[in-house]
Amino acid sequence: MSSSADDLNISWVRSLLAHGPSILASLALFFLMAMTFADVVLRSVFNDPIESATELTRLLMAIIVFSSLPIVSWQGKHIVIDLLDHYFSKAMSRIRNFFADGICGIVLVWPSYRVWELAERAKSYGDTTEYLQIPQFYVAYFIAIATMITSVVLVVRSVLWIFSPAKLEVQNLQAMS
């Protein structure tokens, strides 16, 4: 009985890790859409816009973008320019992808570290948003963590290009369709 309970817990955690960022981005996008609609109606009909709409838009856009970044990176759905792809053999494409993902993953460590430092500084200064007085360090920590997760995802993809390239090639074909 314990085994099936453990499997259920692992399945639930796996599902949350796989879909949690997408759900968070979807909820943020829905809230952004509803707020924008309400702001337009209030502005047009009652000449009384939502004063904190710009502030909320910035925060929600950060949540949408950085929630999606690890997922987009794992699925290989970044915008790419494939002008030279037909000149690369399958083996050379794997080596190119290994270096591209690996270098991007390694390079992303620095911005995540810097954003973490900025979050620490915002926390120590007590920086808040203008209208709603939301502490800014929450979003900065979120950005730093999401960027670090993206870095790890890209390094893992890089390693997979060497040890299990077929899995990523199938994933890339599905992403293109």
Residue where the block lists tokens 């009652």: 46
- 8 Å CB contact between 117 and 111: no
Please tell me the least confidently modeled range out of 32-41, 89-98, 161-170: 161-170
Per residue in 101-151, pLDDT tens?
999 999 999 999 999 999 999 999 999 999 999 999 999 999 999 999 999
How high is the pLDDT of residue 174? 58
Q: Running DSSP on this structure, what letter comes out for residue 135?
A: B
Query: Which letter, b or e, does each residue of 154-168 get, where b requires 16 or more Cβ atoms within 10 Å of its Cβ?
Result: bbebbebbeeebeeb
Over residues 78-101, the pLDDT tens digits come to 888 888 888 888 888 889 999 999
Q: How far apart are CA 29 and CA 65, in angstroms?
A: 10
User: Please, are residues 21 and 70 in contact by the beta-carbon 8 Å criterion?
Assistant: yes
Query: What tokens were used for 34?
Result: 């509803």
Look at residue 78 in the predicted model and tell me its pLDDT: 85
Q: What is the percent of the chain where pLDDT is above 90? A: 67
**Banded model confidence at residue 165, pLDDT cuts 50, 70, 90:** confident
| Identity at 118, one-letter amino acid code | L
Q: What whole-number distance in Å separates Cα of residue 84 and Cα of residue 71?
A: 26
Mean pLDDT of the chain: 89
Kindly tell me if the per-residue pLDDT of 50 is higher than 50.
yes
pLDDT confidence of residue 124 = 97
pLDDT at 173: 58
Confidence check: pLDDT of 175 > 80: no
Considering only residues 171 and 87, tell me which one the structure prediction assigns the higher pLDDT. Answer: 87
- Predicted pLDDT at 1: 46
